Amino acid sequence: MAHLGVADLAGTAQAAYGRDLRDVARLSGGSKKGVYRLTLDDGTTGVAYVWRASEDYWPEHEPDPLFGGASGRDLFLTAHTALSEAGMCVPRLVLVDTDVVVVEDLGAEFLEKQLDDSETLERLWDDLEAMHRRTSPRYGRPGTLQPLDAPPVPDVVLERALGHLKVCSERVPRITAERDRLETLLRQRHAVIEPREEYGLIHGELGPDHVLVADGRPVLIDIEGVMFFDVEWEHVFLEMRFGPHYRPVAGLDPARTALYRLAQHLSLAEGPLRLLDGDFPHRDAMREIAEHNVERVLAESD
């Protein structure tokens, strides 16, 4: 996949800063959008998010109505507004264009390199707790909430997990052998969940690689997955990604947590396997993620 260069983003730099563009560097990590550091003729920098087909490494597939469309300029802007209103720190907008958004370059390190900084971590957990307290009687993206009579969140998660189980069982013999057991386990965990009528605001994919640290303040990035949802979904992911640095919270529903843990491991096995069907460059890392989550899926039991 060819990356964008100075000629491709010179107009964006002019529109954002009124200056000539000296250099462009594609930053690592993006699979649905391109993330580029723009270096201007005076040495200052900005960051451009680019949503174009040429920047999307994911093979074509049937879209997931709630999760699968978690990319795009409009989702980014809606999420940016929702997080800002919730008091979360996000990069300042510099320019909004048709398929490009330019934000400030904070020149900050990722939190994954500062996990021993207890003060920053505590600030993140406090910020997230406040964010999760922002609620809605309907779930979904802040700008397109699902109707009140939409299927309950656990039903949505179950159907999605069954789809991921089907795909994984077609590609991973060890899961093929355990498919019936795993399907039964998913349905058993789903069956004991009690109804809920309120959902919290979540990031949706918050690992330490999606948090920058600027002057000791956690700054959220890769925010297109922001939605109102069961907060247990977020906490399962946080526990997976932060490991011993995760701060548990009281009041989570253990039934939802159990279902969502298995569902997320299935998702994190199926997604990387599908991404490897394309030309995603960081292939070893994707294989490791898929293998790790296959093992975690198989380890789940009654």
pLDDT category at 275 given cuts 50, 70, 90 is confident
Residues 68 and 41 in one domain: yes
Q: Which residue has the higher pLDDT, 281 or 225?
A: 225
Which span out of 19-28, 107-116, 184-193, 276-285 was modeled with the highest average pLDDT?
A: 184-193
Residues 99 and 120 in one domain: no
Q: Give the strand pairing for 199-202 and 144-145.
A: unpaired
Give 174's contacts (C-beta < 8 A, 6+ positions apart): 294, 298
Residues 38 and 163 in one domain: no
Domain span holding position 253:
109-299
Which of residues 104, 123, 142 is at a domain's end?
104
Residues 185 and 287 in one domain: yes
pLDDT at 54: 79
Residues 121 and 84 in one domain: no
Return the minimum-mean-pLDDT range out of 48-62, 133-147, 188-202: 48-62
CA distance 252 to 235: 9
Please count the CA atoms within 13 angstroms of the CA of 87 that sit on its side-chain side. 11
Residues 83 and 51 in one domain: yes
Does residue 1 belong to any structural domain of this protein? no
CA distance 286 to 119: 31
pLDDT at 59: 60
| Helix, coil or strand: residue 135 | strand
Residues 157 and 258 in one domain: yes
- Percentage of residues of the chain with pLDDT beyond 90: 81
pLDDT category at 57 given cuts 50, 70, 90 is low
User: The whole model's pTM is what?
Assistant: 0.93
- DSSP symbols for 32-64: SSEEEEEEETTS-EEEEEE--GGG--SPP-PPP
Which of residues 104, 135, 151 is at a domain's end?
104
Q: Which residue has the higher pLDDT, 30 or 250?
A: 250
Helices (H), the chain: 6-17, 73-85, 118-132, 153-171, 173-176, 179-191, 231-242, 254-275, 283-299
Q: Which residue has the higher pLDDT, 231 or 281?
A: 231
pLDDT in tens, 2-36: 689 999 999 999 999 999 999 999 997 667 899 99
**pLDDT over 60 at 62, yes or no:** no
Averaged pLDDT, 55-60: 67
| Domain harbouring 247, CATH code | 3.90.1200.10
Does residue 81 belong to any structural domain of this protein? yes
pLDDT at 128: 97
Residues 87 and 214 in one domain: no
Residues 95 and 190 in one domain: no
- Percentage of residues of the chain with pLDDT beyond 70: 94
pLDDT at 190: 98
Residues 54 and 186 in one domain: no
Does residue 140 belong to any structural domain of this protein? yes
pLDDT at 30: 65
Residues 166 and 256 in one domain: yes
Residues 34 and 53 in one domain: yes
pLDDT in tens, 83-130: 999 999 999 999 999 999 999 999 889 999 999 989 999 999 999 999
Number of domains in the chain: 2
Averaged pLDDT, 140-150: 93
| Domain harbouring 100, CATH code | 3.30.200.20
